[in-house]
Amino acid sequence: CVDRCGVAFMFAPINHPAMRFVGPVRKQLGVRSCFNILGPMTNAAGAERAVIGVFEEELVELMGGALMEVGRVDHAVVIHGVGLDEISPLGPATILEIKNTAPEGEPKTYTQQKFTFDPLTVGIPRCDVLDLKGGGPVENADEFRKVLLGGSHTNAKRDSIVLNAGVGVYVYGLTESIEEGCKLARKTLESGKATEVLEKWVETSQAIRAEETA
């Protein structure tokens, strides 16, 4: 799917077999545990660039330190937002950025920088948590399509996509800063290109599924 359209969803129990055995244990525990933060550190995709959210601010540096200790990533940010494990219009987010500065082929050497990012700096206003609330799968899918429609319309959910996509394109290396990343994300949404990618992803996923079951 990545080769055909550049996007893929990797379901942990399938792509990371060990996680299949963790799921039932997590359900039995019924509380947060180390398994809630192990997933990103055991990414079966072997991603060298990553945007990782954590549910408590105290975990930001812990996760960053673990990523550097494992030594797989070249550029990553660990994020904790206001009540969420991502950036949102609810308020400022705490971010730890780590970068590998070693030449290619040599052991990784990391620099790290912890800072606060406020959505207000890129013109995104505050919102209420209810503005971000979703619903069932069908409702969420419909809302997602509406948010991706081209044009300059905006709401809290679209603003959240701009923020998190902005971080993603920055970490990937398409821009020099998160602020520039957010501008690129907004421009892409307004152009309608995001909807084109979504439609191609749906079409490709369905085609691959049909090929597998044929």
| Angle subtended at Cα 210 by Cα 204 and Cα 211, rounded to the nearest 5 degrees | 90
Average pLDDT, consecutive stretches of 10 residues, N- to C-terminus, the chain (214 residues): 88 73 74 72 83 94 94 96 95 98 95 98 96 92 87 87 97 98 96 92 92 86
pTM of the model: 0.89
For the chain, the DSSP string reads: -HHHHS-----HHHHSHHHHHHHHHHHHH-S--THHHHHHHT-TT--SEEEEE-SSTTHHHHHHHHHHHHT--SEEEEEE-SSSSS-BTTB-EEEEEEEE-SPTTSPP-EEEEEEEE-GGGGTPPP--GGGG---SHHHHHHHHHHHHSSSS---HHHHHHHHHHHHHHHHHTSSSSHHHHHHHHHHHHHHTHHHHHHHHHHHHHHHHHHHHH-
pLDDT at residue 16 in the model: 74
pLDDT at residue 15 in the model: 75
Structural domains for the chain? 2-213 (3.40.1030.10)
d(CA 206, CA 165): 25
